Amino acid sequence: MPIEHAAIIGAGISGLTAALALSRRGISSEIFEQAGELTDIGAGLQVSPNASRILAELGILEGLSKVWLEPDAIRLISGGSLRQLAAVPAGKFARERWGAPYGVLHRTTLQKALLAAVAADPLCRLHLGVRMDSTPPPFERAVDVVIGADGVWSKLRQIVPGSPSPRFSGNIAYRFTIAETEAPGFLDRTSVSAFLGGSAHLVCYPLRETGSFNMVAITAGNIAPQAWQSEATAEQRAQLRARLSGWNTAIVSLLDRNRKLTFWPLFETTSGAWQDGRKTVLIGDAAHAMMPFAAQGAAMAIEDAYELAAFLSNRPVAEALARFERHRAPRIAKLRQRGAFNRFAYHAKGPIRIGRDLVLGLKPPLSLAADLDWIYGYRAVDLP
């Protein structure tokens, strides 16, 4: 018989989306979050059509559309010459080709929209300040399924035999923002721009809600044990500058001028089981944290949450969890491969870089868009 009540561990994007998706199918849930309050964290976020159509189905998209930016294009640009190499059309084109919008916004904006919807939903109840360990917290009522949506450092993961493990990816993200009024002219106010160079790339796009540009430089790098997000030290800044050797001085000067630069080691998970064959399942980063080279981390969390609810709505729990994992795992694996390819292409050097630029220059925009159809055109289970 279909389940009646779920426990969700974690009140991030995947957990809140799961609660709303379950409620849509008449299933109540309790959400347990370790933090005492949900503060403004994170940075910019790209929401591609495969995720935005789910947000539309859950009644979230209309509010987001009033504050986010739908970029005209996703542009690939030389970090040395500032010459555009290629561009994938977005904006109106995205709505027409993939049936849903492509938007950029601050992560907090999405989290607050999801939180407001959960707070207004009588089938959802949020508990803050609940300490997490290797066992689920005490539940107010009997639960049929326990959903681990507690991120790359998931504690619930420990009770799933053979589950993934977190590991440092070998990549560092350096994050900062620039007020739009102070941003140089080469930063496009209407698009997502990815500047490519040997050993690094820099992604930039405007955040309408904050009147600023979100800037993220990603490079290879090393970390001390247990390192996590922190303000970049002088040594870490020097390491980034070395990675940008040969880049256009206009870009390098942005980093030199910016006083607040966040050093963010990127962690991923190994492969492993997402569910225990009984009543516990992992979603989002808890199951498959991946690198941002395909800009699909948040989208995969949203897809996971929505499709898990679909499977749980009409099958016994153990069968639903097994089917969910078999259904989702190939898509996640393919996206990991795409991310690895993008990293190779974005950070190419020497003859490989020259060849990359030639190939990109010969590809028309529609061909580049077609390469993304399997990602952006994806329709989650039970979406029309």
SS (H, E, C) 299-330: HHHHHHHHHHHHHHCCCCHHHHHHHHHHHHHH
22 domain-assigned:
yes
Q: For residue 106, list its beta bridge partners.
A: 44
In the chain, the percentage of residues whose pLDDT exceeds 90 is: 75
Among 290, 164, 154, 168, residue whose Cα is nearest residue 224: 168
Query: Would you call 85 helix, strand, or coil by DSSP?
Result: strand
| Spatial separation of the C-alpha atoms in residues 128 and 136, rounded to whole Å | 14
Query: Number of folded domains in the chain?
Result: 1
334 domain-assigned:
yes
Can you state the percent helix, strand and coil of the chain, rounding each to 5?
40, 25, 35
Q: Which residues of 329-339 are buried (b: 16+ CB within 10 A; e: fewer)?
A: eebbeebbebb
Q: What is the CATH number of the domain that holds 328?
A: 3.50.50.60
> What pLDDT score does 72 carry?
97
Among 261, 175, 171, residue whose Cα is nearest residue 215: 175
> What pLDDT score does 134 carry?
62
Provide DSSP, 2-55. Answer: ---EEEEE--SHHHHHHHHHHHHTT-EEEEEESSSS------EEEE-HHHHHHH
- CA dist 242 → 69, 258, 343 (Å): 33, 16, 18
**Per-residue pLDDT for 165 more than 80?**
yes
- The CB-side HSE value for 91 (13 A sphere, CA atoms) comes to 12
76 domain-assigned:
yes
Average pLDDT over residues 37-58: 88
> What pLDDT score does 311 carry?
97
Query: What pLDDT digit, counting tens, does each position of 328-364 carry?
Result: 999 999 999 999 999 998 988 888 888 888 888 888 9
44 domain-assigned:
yes
**Per-residue pLDDT for 5 more than 60?**
yes
Query: What pLDDT digit, counting tens, does each position of 222-252 carry?
Result: 875 555 668 888 888 888 999 998 899 999 9
Question: pTM of the predicted model, to two decimals?
Answer: 0.95
256 domain-assigned:
no
> What pLDDT score does 232 carry?
86
61 domain-assigned:
yes
| Spatial separation of the C-alpha atoms in residues 255 and 161, rounded to whole Å | 44
218 domain-assigned:
no
273 domain-assigned:
yes
Per the structure, the complete domain to which residue 147 belongs is given by 5-166+268-376
What's the token pair of residue 4?
């009646």
Cα end-to-end distance, the chain, whole Å: 24
Instruction: Say how many residues make up the chain.
Output: 384
